[in-house]
Amino acid sequence: MTQAKILDGNAVAADVRTLLTERVTALRESGGPIPGLAVVLVGDDPASQVYVRNKNRRAQEVGMASFEYLLPASTAELELLALVERLNLDRAVHGILVQLPLPKHIDAQKVLESIHPAKDVDGFHPFNVGRLVTGGKAQIPCTPLGCLLMLKRHLGSLAGQRAIVLGRSTIVGKPMAQLLLRESATVTIAHSKTRDLAGECRRADIVVAAVGQPEMVRGDWIRPGATVIDVGINRVPAAEAGKTRLVGDVAFDEAVAVAGAITPVPGGVGPMTIAMLLHNALEACCRQHDLPFEDLV
């Protein structure tokens, strides 16, 4: 039985960080700016705390300045907006990330739209969303950008490839579909109202699964030789009582026997998200200082 190539996100993310470290070092040694990333967390959600800590640690590892703002869950929307405004004006800060989800009393969209588009390293501001659609220079959401890098590293050109994106969220599905379109793939976007999801999937050379449904995509949904990118991160009960394990949106054990290449969970798309955040922070810094920036993707 053939076995798909495993696309190792840890390895690709490590390559990206090495390259970014070289570029940040070169920038500093030439008397240029030190890229600065500000991460804002409101509340004490344990998963968000881990993400924020990892983002700061990784930023420091590549030589960036990182600024952490940990605010209590009771923070008023106005206070948060005032902090974002201060960071917008701070010349040492080139990228601003407000960790989602925000407490219910805060309008997340309003906060995201208050970040200056040039510092919007998550790529969620309508200005950057619009630029992605219209083809201008944009900050691109980190997870889909990481998926695209993995796809291009494996396949080279995506032109003419039939791609399906399962999921239409603003964070993953929609920007992923736009990126694939930008690469001249023929793109289908599927969601919870799509009829015959399995049949749609079977036609695709590239499957990007971002539905948040554990192991929904079965092996017989995959066209033999297709490339499968599994964005899903789902915690499910493990065989051992009381324990849990992480699975993706794709039934890995089935799909690996059919696909040409596949990302595992964990160790696939997950590590790419922070690597691409650092990429976006360096890009933001270079653009704010009118310095050249060579895209990695």
Residues that bind ligand NDP (CB under 6 A): 143, 166-169, 171-173, 190-194, 197, 210-213, 216, 231-234, 269-270, 273
Positions marked catalytic? 55, 99, 122
Whole-angstrom Cα distance, residue 288 to residue 131? 17
Residue nearest to ligand NDP (CB): 169
**Closest separation between CB of residue 269 and ligand NDP, Å?**
4
**Closest separation between CB of residue 29 and ligand NDP, Å?**
32
The first and second tokens of residue 233, run together, are 């991160």
* Kind and range of the H or E run holding 26: helix 9-29
**Closest separation between CB of residue 141 and ligand NDP, Å?**
9
- Rounded to 5°, angle at Cα 164 from 276 and 204: 120
**Closest separation between CB of residue 102 and ligand NDP, Å?**
15
The DSSP annotation for 105-146 comes to TS-HHHHHHHS-GGGBTT--SHHHHHHHHHTS-----HHHHH
Whole-angstrom Cα distance, residue 128 to residue 125? 5
In the bound state with ligand NDP, the residue whose beta carbon lies nearer, of 171 and 185, is 171
Q: Locate the DSSP E strands across the chain.
A: 5-6, 36-42, 65-71, 95-98, 162-166, 186-190, 206-209, 227-230, 234-237, 244-247, 261-262
Residue 106 · residue 41 · CB < 8 Å: no
What single letter denotes the amino acid at residue 171?
A: I
